[in-house]
Amino acid sequence: AQSVTQLDSQVPVFEEAPVELRCNYSSSVSVYLFWYVQYPNQGLQLLLKYLSGSTLVESINGFEAEFNKSQTSFHLRKPSVHISDTAEYFCAVSDRRNGNQFYFGTGTSLTVIP
Amino acid sequence: NAGVTQTPKFQVLKTGQSMTLQCAQDMNHEYMSWYRQDPGMGLRLIHYSVGAGITDQGEVPNGYNVSRSTTEDFPLRLLSAAPSQTSVYFCASTRTGGSGTQYFGPGTRLTVL
């Protein structure tokens, strides 16, 4: 089974500052990688995903993540955060060989400070 | 499309009671899953289904049953509720399995006294 580690449980950052949320996964086998966002009292929504091709993937609201196979990482970045980015962020992985299960990290709570 | 719907939104049970959490999707997705979300533990997979009539266990299946008689519905049954099952439960569906985007319902907040 896969395991996903999100190294920071809480990340406070000032508005318009850059942020990086870290994610590492356990296996060196081929994987699909995802970032989901959860706003208060809501379900999770897909932010971005890596399936194949370019290792840098972007979301429509300015987030990006880079797949690094050698470091088994998929860190999420944004160059300038907004108040509306305050939310819980989850990294997730599924195995390409047996893709019926998704494994989630414990989440990172991002708080943007005005 | 309504997407993924879950009922009820809130539920309080006494230890030993049973209940069914309902989940339905109208996107004709083959894959459906149930997760529980606990503080500091992220989402953990309870059961999943890759199509009508096919279910399998996830990471934390004990104390829960599922069935998938139709593509649309995937109910989760708590057989004899325990305080350890106090959690927020999310249902999700995806069209293409491991490479697909999961669509989540709004969740059911369950408290077992």
* Mutation to test the B interface, candidates A3, A39, A44, A57, most B Cβ within 10 Å: A44
**A95 interaction partners in chain B (CB closer than 8 Å):** 98
**Is the pLDDT confidence value at A9 over 90?**
yes
In contact, B87 and B29? CB cutoff 8 Å: no
**B42 interaction partners in chain A (CB closer than 8 Å):** 4, 6, 90, 104-107
Pairwise CA distance, residues A75 & B41, whole Å:
19
Distances A93 to A16, A113, B5, B6, B69 between C-alpha atoms, Å? 29, 30, 24, 24, 28
Kindly report, residue by residue over B48-77, the tens digit of the pLDDT: 999 999 999 999 999 999 999 999 999 999
Instruction: Find out whether the peptide bond into B8 is cis, omega within 30 degrees of 0.
Output: yes
How much is the pLDDT for A30?
Answer: 81
* pLDDT tens across the length of chain B (113 residues): 779 999 999 999 999 999 999 999 999 999 999 999 998 888 999 999 999 999 999 999 999 999 999 999 999 999 999 999 999 999 999 987 777 889 999 999 999 99
CA-nearest residue to A102 within chain B is B98
**A106 interaction partners in chain B (CB closer than 8 Å):** 40-42
Per the DSSP assignment, residues forming a β-bridge with B4 are B25
Candidates B4, B42, B45; nearest CB to A105: B42
Kindly report, residue by residue over A26-82, the tens digit of the pLDDT: 876 788 999 999 998 888 999 999 988 888 999 988 999 999 988 999 999 999 999
Candidates A6, A98, A102; nearest CB to B45: A102
